[in-house]
């Protein structure tokens, strides 16, 4: 079934003035804002200029690590440790421990560099914690030593890296693009007449309306409508998305999906009774994606969208017809 058809396609002295730039630069680094290129290891977490990289301060104790960087690419986090001269790494297991909370790690080695995929659920702990430790296999520990880092400035640095992180690869899914330029706008106004009226009564304004109609090869259709306006009314995202499916009733459509604003996709490799899974990414923030599955009458939350490293190949996600 092709569910892609039909898709609608953000007074200072001279001496004082000459010293000012240096004082400002030192202040910026001390606040954990930006690490200048080729700078010495800072005393707190900082973000590299124009990069989605949070640079860690010097490791505590006798760890033989020259540099550590937490990087974000395609919404996936990787911790890279550059080892000191003369130290060789090795593959193995390990754990990231933040204030006693442990997260499993797989350690990969290339020369003097160790890389570890950091679970998304550990990022919140790294932002809020006080101390981070990396527990390695006995062989690596004997070579490198105990590794621990303070988390001073981690929230600011990770947040900045997160804002610069590239989007997740969603090429395995079909994007649902909502638009205000569609012949289906009048249908949307009819289906959401009560919602539009309630918003106007509460805010003395009209919401912005976007729509998308998608069709499957067997004639099944899903119609998505989005109302946007006040975040006071619609929640943090400022929008609501409601989906409809054809119905034999008087209106001809029934509501089958409802959330705050998200980025919408359908999964062509997974369907229930012919209805594709709906896959959503957060419109803002760093929440995980979600998968919504057809229950027979409507869509309901099924599970969180796995990280890309965990996702099975397209068409092997446990779909049933």
CATH assignment of 36-164, given 3.30.70, 1.10.10, 1.20.120, 2.60.40? 2.60.40
The pLDDT of residue 93:
83
The pLDDT of residue 40:
53
User: Beta 275-282 vs 262-272: how paired, if at all?
Assistant: antiparallel
Share of the chain above pLDDT 70, in %: 81
Q: Give the SS3 label for residue 27.
A: helix
Residue 36 above 70 pLDDT? no
Residue 52 above 90 pLDDT? yes
212-270 pLDDT, tens per residue?
Answer: 999 987 889 999 999 999 889 998 899 999 999 998 766 699 999 999 999 999 998 89
Scan for tokens 């309630």, then name that residue. 198
Q: Which of 37-46, 64-73, 121-130 has the lowest mean pLDDT?
A: 37-46
290-312 pLDDT, tens per residue?
Answer: 999 999 999 999 999 987 654 44
Is the model more confident about 271 or about 17? Answer: 271
Domains of the chain, by residue range, sit at 36-164, 174-304
What band does 285 get if pLDDT is binned at 50, 70 and 90?
low
Is the model more confident about 316 or about 178? Answer: 178
SS (H, E, C) the chain: CCCCCCCCCCCCCHHHHHHHHHHHHHHHHHCCCEECCCCCCCCCCEEECCCCEEECCCCECCCCEEEEEEEEECCEEEEEEEECCCCCCCCEEEEEEECCEEEEEEEEEECCEEEEEECHHHHHHHHHCCEEEEEECHHHHHHHCCEEEECCCHHHHHHHHHHHCCCCCCCCCEECCCECCCCCHHHHHHHCHHHHHHHHHHHCCCCEEEEEEEECCCCCEEEEEEEECCHHHHCCCCEEEEEEEECCCCCCEEEEEEEECEEEEEEEEEEECCEEEEEEEECCCCCCCEEEEECCCCEEEEEECCCCCCCCCCCCCCCCC
98-155 pLDDT, tens per residue?
Answer: 999 999 999 898 888 999 999 988 999 999 999 999 998 887 788 888 899 999 999 9
Those residues whose C-beta lies under 8 Å from the C-beta of residue 85, and which sit 6 or more positions away, are: 66, 112
Q: Quick one: average pLDDT of 148-169?
A: 93
Alpha helices in 36-133 (DSSP H): 123-128
Residue 88 above 80 pLDDT? no
The pLDDT of residue 137:
83
What does the alpha-carbon distance between residue 126 and residue 128 come to, in Å, rounded to a whole number?
Answer: 6
The pLDDT of residue 216:
85
Residue 321 above 60 pLDDT? no
Q: Quick one: average pLDDT of 268-288?
A: 87
Share of the chain above pLDDT 90, in %: 57
The pLDDT of residue 144:
85
pTM of the model: 0.67
């Amino acid at each position: 079934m092709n569910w892609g058809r039909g898709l609608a396609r953000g007074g200072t002295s001279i001496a004082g003035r000459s010293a000012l730039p240096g004082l400002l630069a030192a202040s910026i680094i001390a606040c954990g804002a930006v690490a200048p290129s080729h700078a010495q290891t800072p005393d707190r977490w900082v973000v590299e200029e124009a990069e989605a990289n949070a640079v860690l301060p010097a490791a505590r104790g006798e760890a033989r690590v020259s540099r550590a960087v937490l990087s974000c690419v395609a919404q996936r986090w990787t911790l890279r440790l550059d080892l000191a001269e003369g130290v060789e790494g090795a593959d193995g297991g390990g754990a990231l421990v933040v204030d006693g909370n442990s997260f499993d790690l797989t350690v990969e080695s290339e020369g003097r560099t160790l890389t570890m995929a950091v679970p998304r659920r550990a990022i919140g702990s790294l932002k809020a914690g006080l101390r981070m430790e990396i527990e390695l296999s006995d062989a690596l520990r004997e070579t490198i030593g105990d590794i621990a880092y303070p988390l001073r400035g981690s929230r600011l640095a990770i947040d900045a890296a997160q804002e610069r992180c590239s989007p997740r690869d969603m090429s395995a899914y079909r994007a649902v693009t909502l638009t205000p330029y569609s012949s289906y706008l009048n249908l949307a106004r009819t289906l959401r007449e009560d919602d539009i009226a309630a918003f106007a009564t509460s805010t003395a304004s009209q919401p912005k309306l976007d729509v998308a109609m998608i069709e499957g090869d067997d004639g099944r259709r899903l119609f998505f409508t989005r109302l946007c306006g006040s975040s006071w009314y619609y929640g943090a995202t400022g929008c609501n998305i409601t989906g409809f499916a054809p119905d034999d009733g008087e209106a001809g459509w029934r509501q089958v999906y409802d959330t705050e604003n998200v980025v919408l996709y359908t999964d062509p490799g997974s369907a229930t009774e012919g209805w594709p899974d709906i896959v959503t990414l957060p419109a803002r923030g760093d929440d995980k994606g979600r998968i919504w599955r057809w229950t027979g009458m409507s869509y309901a939350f099924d599970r969180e969208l796995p990280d890309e490293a965990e996702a099975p190949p397209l068409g092997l996600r446990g779909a049933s017809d």
